[in-house]
Structure 1
Amino acid sequence: MKHTILAPGKPALGYAKDGTTEYLKRLRRYGSYELIHPKDGNSEDVSKRLHDASSGTLRIVMDERGEQLTTAQLTKKINQWEMRGVKRASYLIGASDGHTQQLRDDADLIWALSPLTLQHELALLVLLEQLYRVATIQRGEPYHR
């Protein structure tokens, strides 16, 4: 399955730049993972860009009001999507003022990384780490203990 992460605006904070680069490098060994940075803006504009860019994919909207998954539950969901023949999944991180209701309504999954509201660059880094963790679990590697 091809995984596309859509996160408006490129990371500006050092830890986010370094972490994003590191996890994307690690993920290359496990399949197709792409990070796209649509132009930032208000909720309406960003949600439209995210909606358009994720057309035809399984849409996973990142939102603190969404379903909280353990890593094991996320691994199970991704395995199920792959078994169903899902070819492409998009993970959507919204503008600083969140997603529009329309984008949430069109989501296949609304996923909360935490009940806390996370700064966008931190959310991106946590998402990439969890995708890496799932990939290592799928391969039976010892990263996840």
Structure 2
Amino acid sequence: MRVHICAVGRLRGGPERALADDYLTRFDRTGRAMGLTSGGVIEVEDRKGGGMAAEADLLRRAIPRGAAIWVLDERGQMLTSPDFADRLAGLRDAGQPDLAICIGGADGLARELVAEAGLAISLGRMVWPHMLVRAMLSEQLYRAASILAGGPYHRA
């Protein structure tokens, strides 16, 4: 299953991008044997100032056809890393070819897009800047692949 990160905003070069890219590379390398690969990061930008509704439309267009949709939302479920890994494995085992995980802009995601998602995930009760969220999500994808592979990275 290919896992795509669909995000509002552009992440410029710098330590956050380097960290996210490193974890996505690790995810791809570790996950490949588990049937999980990185579909990459798809960035969208609302240049016309249409707000969350316009961002949601751009994200919908970026999501690969037929992909399962998960969103990051502060009101979503707080999962443990093993639970996150199990959810990924469940989609993969069900034959889902693609998963798109959406990250909203500064104001979050439109409620309509959140309602369309199969899963809304919270990274905690705090709100994080999107540049850090990408790195955190990328790390959790790598951690999930490591958990599924029985690797030593996750020490719980």
Q: Same fold (TM over 0.5)?
A: yes
1:38 alignment partner, one of 32, 37, 44: 44
Structure 2 matches for 1:1-145, cutoff 5 A? 1-12=1-12, 14-29=14-29, 30-31=31-32, 32-33=37-38, 34-40=40-46, 42-54=51-63, 55-145=65-155
State whether residues 24 and 139 of structure 2, in contact with CA within 8 Å, keep that contact through their aligned partners in structure 1: no
Q: Distance in 2 between matches of 1:84 and 1:21?
A: 28
Which structure 2 segments of 5+ residues have no match? none
> If the length of structure 1 is used for normalisation, what is the TM-score?
0.92
Q: Distance in 1 between matches of 2:71 and 2:21?
A: 22
Q: Distance in 1 between matches of 2:62 and 2:11?
A: 19
Cα displacement string for residues 52-74 of structure 1 (whole angstroms, at most 9, x for unaligned residues): 22242110011011011000111
* SS of match in other structure, 2:54: helix
State whether residues 47 and 95 of structure 1, in contact with CA within 8 Å, keep that contact through their aligned partners in structure 2: no
- How many residues of Structure 1 are paired with residues of Structure 2 in the alignment? 145
Cα displacement string for residues 94-138 of structure 1 (whole angstroms, at most 9, x for unaligned residues): 111111111011111011111111100111110000000001111
> If the length of structure 2 is used for normalisation, what is the TM-score?
0.86
Which structure 1 segments of 5+ residues have no match? none
Q: CA RMSD in A?
A: 1.5
State whether residues 71 and 103 of structure 2, in contact with CA within 8 Å, keep that contact through their aligned partners in structure 1: yes
Q: Distance in 2 between matches of 1:48 and 1:124?
A: 20
Q: Distance in 2 between matches of 1:69 and 1:98?
A: 19
* SS of match in other structure, 2:75: strand
Q: Distance in 2 between matches of 1:47 and 1:120?
A: 15
* SS of match in other structure, 1:37: strand
- Among the aligned pairs, what percent are the same residue? 31
